Amino acid sequence: MKAFLKNYRQSPRKVRLVAELIKGKRVADALLILDTLPKRASGPVNTLLNSAIANAKQAGIAVEGLFVENVTVNKGIVLKRSMPRARGSASRINKRTSHVMLTLIEKTTEKTEKKAKIAKKEQTEKKVEKKVAKKSKKVAKPEVKE
């Protein structure tokens, strides 16, 4: 699943510091890192990650198996401003923006595979029990008194 953040008003260099921290992490770990990180970009990246999780849920993917596959931070438009300087001159100020793209991937770990196998086994056992209960009701003969 993918999510995009376009024209975020912070320089890509600063946003990359936050993006590199969550790359390759589980979604729960990434959310924890972003919540505790004292960087300005952690808030919007956290919102972006929640958006990607919502996109995954909408597609029917379980959240437990999601990992942050890639976080790409590219340069957006540059707003050019000027600051007055001495003797009537001016110097340029570049107000940079960032485009952030976050990609989630579904991986199965050994624990999730074991949980899935156990859940599947329990479901089949319940189905078998239901079938046996139905058959026993049909086969049960009334008792004959002598």
How far apart, in whole angstroms, are the C-alpha atoms of residue 1 and residue 84?
46
- pLDDT tier at 136, thresholds 50, 70, 90: confident
How high is the mean pLDDT of the chain? 90
The burial class, CB within 10 Å (0-12 / 13-18 / 19+), for 19 is: buried
Cα distance between residue 103 and residue 61, in whole Å: 14
Is the pLDDT assigned to residue 142 strictly greater than 80? Answer: no
Average pLDDT (71-86) is 97
pLDDT of 135 reads 74
44-77 pLDDT tens trace:
999 999 999 999 999 998 898 999 999 999 999 9
What pLDDT, on a 0 to 100 scale, did the predictor assign at position 139? 59
Name the pLDDT band for 143 (thresholds 50, 70, 90): low
Give the per-residue pLDDT at 112.
Answer: 64
Quickly state the pLDDT bin for 2 (edges 50, 70, 90). Answer: very high
Q: CA–CA separation, 109 vs 115, rounded Å?
A: 10
CATH 3.40.50.1010 corresponds to the domain 1-81+91-106 = no
Across the range 75-100, mean pLDDT stands at: 97
For residues 51 and 27, what is the distance between their CA atoms, to the nearest angstrom? 12
* Residue matched to tokens 């999601």: 66
pLDDT tens digit string along 101-132? 999 999 876 666 777 778 888 888 888 888 88
